[in-house]
Chain A
Amino acid sequence: MSTAASPPVLASTTRSGIGYWVAGLRSMLRFDLARARQWAALMVVIQVLMGVGMALIYGFFYPRISHETALYITTGTPALALIPLGFVMVPASVGEQKLGGTFDFTWSLPAPRSAQATSTFLLFTLLSLPGAVLALVISAWHYGVSLSISAQIVPGTLLCALTAVSVGFGMALVIADPLLTNLITNALMFVVLLFTPIVYPPSHLPAWLFAVDRALPFYNMAQVIRAGLTSGLVTGLASCYLILMGWTAAGWLMTAWVVGRRH
């Protein structure tokens, strides 16, 4: 009787080490994947619709679509599919989890929080790729553009997806109020879709605006992806990669700062 009543004894040692972290990551990936089954397909569909829709809409604004315009729009399409995912859908999903209380539940699971965040980054990065590829294929077909694809498209796209997811996640964590996050991400999308040279060349911009865009991740994402799809159109790639890595690191730092705090 007395043995049955005694509570389960918690381990007195703190579990740590690489092995424990990897095990935590594996369980979290399984956990996140199982949850993602509900919405992953819908997310890819929305992403393709957004990417293709934006690519079509940009075309409607031009009285005459030159080959250069078509090339810029088509090669900007993958970025158009990745940016809303990272900067709108990821923060929205975090916001929903915060409001619903699942966010705190997940944090209470016995896995290192760094493993939890890594699992989220991995999952969203991988999930964002099919939509981006599909949107590119449809856009290239619509505009009749032939692309010269090089191997650097693979690391380029992976980095872009990771950057978008990392910054979006970090932002959603740092800003406590989900409604405020929602407002900021929507305003951000509007500004990015109009004022960032993703589907048009940067020569259209005034110098000061281009300087701002070069420091932000969006233009650099478009450039890195464009470099993998065309030859001779993109120069100065190294700085694009560096800035994207910087933003990814910033997203991780924001995440680490919030995740490390107790509340």
Chain B
Amino acid sequence: MMAAVTGLAPSATVRKGLPYWAESYWAMTRWHLIGLRMWLGLLVVVQIMAGAGFVLGIALFFDRIPVTAALFVSTGVPVINLVLVGLILGPQLVAEQKVQQSYDFVRSMPVPRAPAAAAWYTVCLLAGLPAVAVSLVIAQARYGFSFSPSPAIVPAVLLTAFTGTMIGYGLGHAVPNPMVTQLVTQLLVFVIFGFTPILFPAWQLPHWLAVVNWWFPFGHMAVIVRAGLTTGMVTGIASSYLIVAVWGIIGAAASAWALGRRG
């Protein structure tokens, strides 16, 4: 009898260390994959179709599409594929949890914040990668490009997905009102497709908008991904890496602050 009761008592030691971290990370990754299993398949398909649609559809805007325009779209669509899940759907999911009041339950799970965030990052990355590959293959077939990915593509992809996911994570967790989160994310979709130099060069924007964009990470994400896929197309990669990284840290810090609060 006594033994059974002690069995239920929480352990007196605080669990920590790398094995506990790894175990939490793996548990949360499985949690997300299983929780979203219906959605993930659909999401990957939708991402692939949207990516392919954009790569193919852009040619219709022109009588004969200039090579630069095709190249910008083809190397910009993967960026959108990479950030869409983490930046847009992630905060919407969290907002939904807040509305449905399952948010506190998820927060109460005995998992440290960092592996929980790392698990979510992994899921977002996995959901984006298939579409990145398909978009690039279709662009090669349609426009006859031969992309020459350099090793730099690996940090570019990882960092782009990280920053997108962390900004989304911050939006979801640090913005208290779910309605605001929904509104901001819907606005972001619009902005990312049309008002940031991802799918077209910055000089096609009005000057002031190009200047504003320099302070935001989205155009720079396209710069670093483009640098990993092509040669001689982009310059000023170092500052782009820096700005994307800073935004990733801001997003992570905002989430950490929001999740670390009690109450």
Could you list which residues of chain A lie within 8 angstroms of chain B, going by C-beta atoms?
Answer: 53-54, 56-58, 60-63, 187, 190-191, 194-195, 197, 199-200, 203-205
Question: B190 at interface (Cβ–Cβ under 8 A)?
Answer: yes
Contact A194 B66 (CB under 8 A): no
Contact B204 A63 (CB under 8 A): yes
> CA A205 – CA B63 in complex, angstroms?
9
Contact A61 B190 (CB under 8 A): no
Contact A57 B60 (CB under 8 A): no
B23 CB to nearest A CB, Å: 36
> CA A63 – CA B199 in complex, angstroms?
12
Give 8 A-B contacts (CB < 8 Å), ordered by A residue: A53-B194, A56-B194, A58-B61, A60-B195, A61-B69, A190-B50, A190-B53, A203-B63
> CA A248 – CA B138 in complex, angstroms?
37
CB neighbours of B194 from chain A (8 A) = 53-54, 56-57, 60
Q: Which of A54, A63, A200 contacts B60 (CB 8 A)?
A: A200
Considering only CB atoms, which chain A residue lies closest to B190 in the complex?
A: A53
B93 CB to nearest A CB, Å: 15
CB neighbours of A204 from chain B (8 A) = 59-63
Contact B53 A62 (CB under 8 A): no
Could you list which residues of chain B lie within 8 angstroms of chain A, going by C-beta atoms?
Answer: 46, 50, 53-54, 57-63, 66, 68-69, 190, 193-195, 199-201, 204-205
Q: How many A-B residue pairs have CB under 8 A?
A: 53
CB neighbours of A187 from chain B (8 A) = 46
B116 CB to nearest A CB, Å: 28
A210 CB to nearest B CB, Å: 10
CB neighbours of B68 from chain A (8 A) = 63
Considering only CB atoms, which chain B residue lies closest to A54 in the complex?
A: B194
CB neighbours of A191 from chain B (8 A) = 53
Rank and list the top 4 A-B pairs by shortest CB-CB distance, nearest first. A57-B194, A194-B57, A204-B60, A60-B204
Known: A61-B61, A195-B53, A195-B60. 16 other contacts (CB 8 A): A53-B190, A53-B194, A54-B194, A56-B195, A57-B195, A60-B194, A60-B204, A61-B199, A61-B200, A62-B62, A63-B68, A63-B204, A190-B53, A194-B53, A203-B63, A205-B60
CB neighbours of B50 from chain A (8 A) = 190
> CA A205 – CA B56 in complex, angstroms?
11
> CA A58 – CA B199 in complex, angstroms?
11
**What secondary structure prevails in chain B residues at the interface with A?**
helix
> CA A54 – CA B53 in complex, angstroms?
17
Contact A61 B63 (CB under 8 A): no
CB neighbours of A54 from chain B (8 A) = 194
Contact A60 B53 (CB under 8 A): no
Contact A62 B60 (CB under 8 A): no
B131 CB to nearest A CB, Å: 14
Q: Which of A62, A63, A195 contacts B57 (CB 8 A)?
A: A195
Considering only CB atoms, which chain A residue lies closest to B63 in the complex?
A: A204
Contact B63 A62 (CB under 8 A): no
Contact B61 A63 (CB under 8 A): no
CB neighbours of B195 from chain A (8 A) = 56-57, 60
CB neighbours of B58 from chain A (8 A) = 61, 194
B233 CB to nearest A CB, Å: 15
B139 CB to nearest A CB, Å: 15
A209 CB to nearest B CB, Å: 8
Q: Which of A57, A63, A195 contacts B193 (CB 8 A)?
A: A57
> CA A56 – CA B190 in complex, angstroms?
12
Contact B204 A194 (CB under 8 A): no
A180 CB to nearest B CB, Å: 12
Contact A61 B193 (CB under 8 A): no
Q: Which of B46, B59, B204 contacts A62 (CB 8 A)?
A: B204
Q: A57-B195, A61-B200 are in contact. Are A200 and B61 (CB under 8 A)?
A: yes
> CA A83 – CA B54 in complex, angstroms?
20
Considering only CB atoms, which chain A residue lies closest to B204 in the complex?
A: A60
> CA A53 – CA B209 in complex, angstroms?
14
Considering only CB atoms, which chain A residue lies closest to B62 in the complex?
A: A204
CB neighbours of B54 from chain A (8 A) = 194
CB neighbours of A60 from chain B (8 A) = 194-195, 200, 204-205
Considering only CB atoms, which chain A residue lies closest to B196 in the complex?
A: A60
CB neighbours of B204 from chain A (8 A) = 60-63
B171 CB to nearest A CB, Å: 20
CB neighbours of B63 from chain A (8 A) = 203-204
B94 CB to nearest A CB, Å: 19
B110 CB to nearest A CB, Å: 33
Considering only CB atoms, which chain B residue lies closest to A204 in the complex?
A: B60
Contact B60 A194 (CB under 8 A): yes
